[in-house]
């Protein structure tokens, strides 16, 4: 994502797991520029409380761009309290059509505990088929690992943590310094 626009930047790994009435979003803490680790303890998963309704969001991509998107999402959630799907679609529409927002290089995983979505700059609001989704440079590794564990007796948090550990072992742009947020339906 954005490799051609911002060569040398590689992003993170964020995973969302929905299981047994709760959603866990976990993200690693590594920020890389080319071959160099700039920071190992960034917080890329946040808890938002617009209008008293809790939402957990994780982001991959440019931090400044992600914060801009999170602010926009909060505004959409305040305008449509308790309606994460509607707020997500409104954000995606703005992101796709607004000339300023179109340049933003990030992706989001968001959840209110009931639903979990990936929001992209292409105007997509995607709901995962198997209650697991992942984004970022190690996203496919984490996704595959989590999907393999979904039929076990592991909790959503255990699945997310173990999948992130596997991604960190494989992807050089992902570390094991996790931020984990849980939200119940």
**Domain holding 129: CATH number?**
3.60.20.10
User: Along the chain (185 residues), what's the average pLDDT of each consecutive run of 10 residues?
Assistant: 43 94 96 86 92 92 85 93 95 85 86 95 91 96 98 98 98 95 92
Catalytic residue from among 5, 12, 13, 120:
12
Q: What does the pLDDT read at residue 33?
A: 82
Q: What does the pLDDT read at residue 3?
A: 43
Residue 138 lies in a domain: yes
Q: Is residue 99 classed exposed, middle or buried when 0-12, 13-18 and 19+ CB atoms within 10 A define those classes?
A: exposed
How many independent structural domains does the chain possess?
Answer: 1
Residue 90 lies in a domain: yes
Residue 152 lies in a domain: yes
Condensed to tens digits (0 to 9), the pLDDT of residues 103-114 reads: 788 889 999 999
Residue 183 lies in a domain: no
Q: What does the pLDDT read at residue 7?
A: 39
Beta pairing partners, 60: 107
Residue 185 lies in a domain: no
Residue 163 lies in a domain: yes
| pTM > 0.95: yes or no | no
Residue 181 lies in a domain: no
Is residue 12 part of the annotated active site? The answer reads: yes
Q: What does the pLDDT read at residue 98?
A: 80
Range of the domain at 170: 9-175
Is residue 125 within 8 A of residue 85, CB to CB? The reply is yes
Residue 2 lies in a domain: no
């Amino acid at each position: 994502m954005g490799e051609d626009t911002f060569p040398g930047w590689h992003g993170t790994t964020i995973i969302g797991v929905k299981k047994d009435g709760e959603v866990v979003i976990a993200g690693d803490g590594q920020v890389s520029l080319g071959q160099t680790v700039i920071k190992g303890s960034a917080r890329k998963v946040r808890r938002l409380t617009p209008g008293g309704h809790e939402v957990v969001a994780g982001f991959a991509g440019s931090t400044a761009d992600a914060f801009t998107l999170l602010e926009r999402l909060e505004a959409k959630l305040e305008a449509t309290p308790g309606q994460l799907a509607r707020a997500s679609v409104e954000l995606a529409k703005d992101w796709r059509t607004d000339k300023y927002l179109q340049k933003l290089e990030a992706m989001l995983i968001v959840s209110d505990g009931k639903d979990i979505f990936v929001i992209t700059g292409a105007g997509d609001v995607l709901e995962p088929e198997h209650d697991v989704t992942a984004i970022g440079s190690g996203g496919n590794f984490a996704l595959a690992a989590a999907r393999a564990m979904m039929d076990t007796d592991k909790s959503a948090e255990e699945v997310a943590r173990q999948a992130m550990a596997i991604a960190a072992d494989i992807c050089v742009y992902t570390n094991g310094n996790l931020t984990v947020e849980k939200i119940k339906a």
